[in-house]
């Protein structure tokens, strides 16, 4: 819709310019006609500038409303993801406690490190992750 209005404003200005040129050529250079046509062209240009400003305002408003709707939709999606992850985490926690409770030899074995084995190399974090190292 906005492009149609802009196109219509450009067409009106082009027609006004064509009429002004034809009138200048036919009039033989009369000074009064040239001044009137100049005023008409100036008025048409001013009207077109106002139409373009209005179109820009409408377009900005549509962009803002579209962005607001997108943010609302994303917030809903993130909320649903959070609920799903919380449900899965609860389920995994109850599974771990049921497996731990059913272990036949007391508590499950903890992995032991061989003291003769070399220590594992530290993990190198690059970029932003290195700022969050404990």
pLDDT tens sequence across 67-96: 999 999 999 999 999 999 999 999 888 888
Residue 120: strand, helix, or coil? coil
Residue 6's pLDDT is 74
Q: What is the dihedral of CA 36, 37, 43, 44, to 10 degrees?
A: 160
Segment 44-56, tens digit of pLDDT: 899 999 999 999 9
Would the pTM of this model clear 0.75, i.e. be above it? Answer: no
Whole-number Å distance between alpha carbons of 37 and 28: 13
Report the candidate in 62, 86, 85, 66 with the shortest Cα–Cα distance to residue 74.
66
pLDDT in tens, 28-42: 555 667 788 888 889
């Amino acid at each position: 819709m906005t492009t149609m209005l802009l196109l219509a404003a450009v067409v009106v200005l082009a027609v006004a310019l064509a009429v002004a040129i034809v009138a200048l050529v036919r009039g033989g250079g009369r000074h009064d006609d040239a001044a009137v046509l100049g005023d008409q062209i100036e008025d048409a240009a001013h009207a077109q500038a106002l139409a373009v400003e209005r179109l820009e305002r409408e377009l900005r408003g549509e962009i803002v409303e579209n962005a607001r709707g997108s943010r609302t939709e994303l917030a809903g999606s993130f909320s649903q993801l959070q609920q799903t992850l919380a449900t899965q985490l609860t389920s995994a926690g109850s599974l771990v406690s049921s497996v731990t409770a059913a272990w036949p030899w007391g508590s499950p074995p903890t992995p032991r490190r061989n003291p003769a084995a070399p220590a594992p190399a530290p993990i190198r974090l690059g970029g932003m992750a290195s700022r969050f190292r404990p």
